[in-house]
Amino acid sequence: MFSRFVDNSYAAPVRKNLDRLVWGRLVSNACYRFAPPFIAVIARGLDVSVAQMGVALMIGEFAGLGSPILGRIVDRGNRVTSMTIGMVALTLGVIGAATSTTIAQFAISMFLLSGAKVLFDTALIVWVNDHVEYERRGRIVGIIETSWALSLFIGVAIMGIATALISWRAGFIVGAIGMAITGALIASALPRDEAHAPVRTELRGSIPRNAYFVFGSSFLLMGASQCLGITFGPWFEDEFGFSSAALIGVVIVLGLFELVSSIGSSRVTDTWGKEISVRRGAVLMVVATVAMAAAPHVSFIAVPMLVLFIMGFEFSLVSMLPLAANIVPNSGGIGLGLTVGAGTCGRAIFSTVATSLYDSVGPVGPALAAVVLSAITVMLISLYARSVR
């Protein structure tokens, strides 16, 4: 399905396994992204407030702080083994979330899920780095990252249907089953004998100073995304009377337009340049969040602007990944791990900031926070682009 978008000039292991990798990422992303749109539903099920749920998700996101360590482990070890461990732990985390009876158990499960996903994602991208040269990496990463959009369009939508028909616990169980199946397919198919770190004759590079512009951009970009990603569910319920079924509809639309953005990134990022692509996506986020902050009570403005915001975020994120993996010469896992770690730290911090703002001042609070974070992202990635000229 996805492998038909790459020609025979790419390495055989990439062409042969691309479909499995995309489906595995799709399911893992769906498990990871399921909670925020249904945060109010889960909060009611656990008899806690939305702000308390925000704290639980914040704790889960802090697992991303281990990304630099996990990146070094991936750099030195077998990529497929790392992916397998990540997928097994991810499945266990989803099962833990489904069976949670307290907010503490839910937070621990989210922590395990988030940490496992970092390991899986890092190992997957570094595996791609081993098989695809930097100049053409944007296309492969873009195709794989369509899984982020499809995880909403397909994965979260299916989990949401299970939630609407049965309960949010059933939604998580559907995700666990999907992760177990796709994980088994990936682990059994990828060749382990050529998935070790390649022998390097060059010295491993150190982290350059300008890399911190990228780490900062990742922190702000993911923080801005979380501001709206974690609050649009209760926002649309409270302001516009959206039901769980209506939220599923919004999720499907978001997934569809994320897919368009991912495909667009895979086609133009290598041509435009990674830094320019990240900046253009962030500018789109600024435009959308300004409009949302100006009209938070108008559904025919807020809903399409949310779609525009998500498109800009997806385009920036997909364009940033190959850039991040090339920051530290001969050690893609370190650069990628630090970038992912910074991003997940941003998501963690703004999980609780956004929900607290929502509870205290309403939807305009998270929207304004997203405006500021997106605007600073544009500035930082512009500074990085100047530094590498």
pLDDT value at position 265? 75
- CB 364 within 8 Å of CB 231: no
Using alpha carbons, list the distances in angstroms from residue 172 to 22, 48, 52, 86, 159: 20, 19, 20, 17, 7
Q: Taking residues 115-139, what's their average pLDDT?
A: 79
pLDDT at 150 over 90: no
The highest-confidence range among 70-79, 309-318, 340-349, by mean pLDDT, is 309-318
pLDDT value at position 281? 92
For domain 11-197+205-387, the question of CATH label 1.20.1250.20 is answered with yes
- Lowest mean pLDDT across 6-15, 92-101, 212-221: 6-15
pLDDT value at position 27? 94
- Better-scored residue on pLDDT, 7 or 317: 317
Q: Write down the pTM of the prediction.
A: 0.72
- Better-scored residue on pLDDT, 50 or 137: 50
- CB 344 within 8 Å of CB 63: yes
How many residues belong to the chain?
389
Residue keyed to tokens 């296309």: 139
Q: What is the mean pLDDT of the chain?
A: 84
pLDDT at 7 over 70: no
pLDDT value at position 118? 85
Name 249's Cβ contacts closer than 8 Å, sequence gap at least 6: none
The highest-confidence range among 59-68, 104-113, 136-145, by mean pLDDT, is 104-113
Cα(111)–Cα(59) distance, rounded to whole angstroms?
6
Cα(175)–Cα(135) distance, rounded to whole angstroms?
35
Q: Taking residues 291-298, what's their average pLDDT?
A: 91
pLDDT value at position 59? 84
- Better-scored residue on pLDDT, 325 or 361: 361
Q: Which two tokens stand for residue 249?
A: 């509809």
- Closest CA relative to residue 381, chosen from 244, 212, 235: 212
Per-residue pLDDT tens for 157-192? 899 899 989 999 999 999 999 999 998 998 888 876
- Lowest mean pLDDT across 11-25, 126-140, 193-207: 193-207
Burial class (CB in 10 A: 0-12, 13-18, 19+), 163: buried
Burial class (CB in 10 A: 0-12, 13-18, 19+), 199: exposed
With the C-alpha atoms ordered 204, 125, 344, 269, is the resulting torsion angle positive or negative? positive
Cα(205)–Cα(255) distance, rounded to whole angstroms?
38
The highest-confidence range among 9-23, 162-176, 234-248, by mean pLDDT, is 162-176
| pLDDT-derived band at 201, boundaries 50, 70, 90 | very low
The terminus-to-terminus CA distance of the chain in angstroms comes to 38
| Strand ranges inside the chain, DSSP E | none
What is the Cα 366 distance to its own chain's centre? Answer: 19
pLDDT value at position 263? 75
- Structural domain spans, the chain: 11-197+205-387
C-alpha gyration radius of the chain: 19
pLDDT value at position 19? 85
- CB 291 within 8 Å of CB 230: no
- Better-scored residue on pLDDT, 179 or 327: 179
Per-residue pLDDT tens for 342-359? 887 888 788 888 888 988
pLDDT value at position 308? 93
Per-residue pLDDT tens for 80-101? 888 899 999 999 999 999 999 9
What DSSP element (H or E) covers 350?
helix 332-361
Q: Taking residues 333-339, what's their average pLDDT?
A: 75
Cα(197)–Cα(98) distance, rounded to whole angstroms?
36
pLDDT at 79 over 90: no
Cα(321)–Cα(335) distance, rounded to whole angstroms?
10
Cα(283)–Cα(311) distance, rounded to whole angstroms?
11
- Closest CA relative to residue 175, chosen from 253, 83, 64, 98: 98
- Better-scored residue on pLDDT, 223 or 148: 223
Q: Taking residues 116-145, what's their average pLDDT?
A: 78
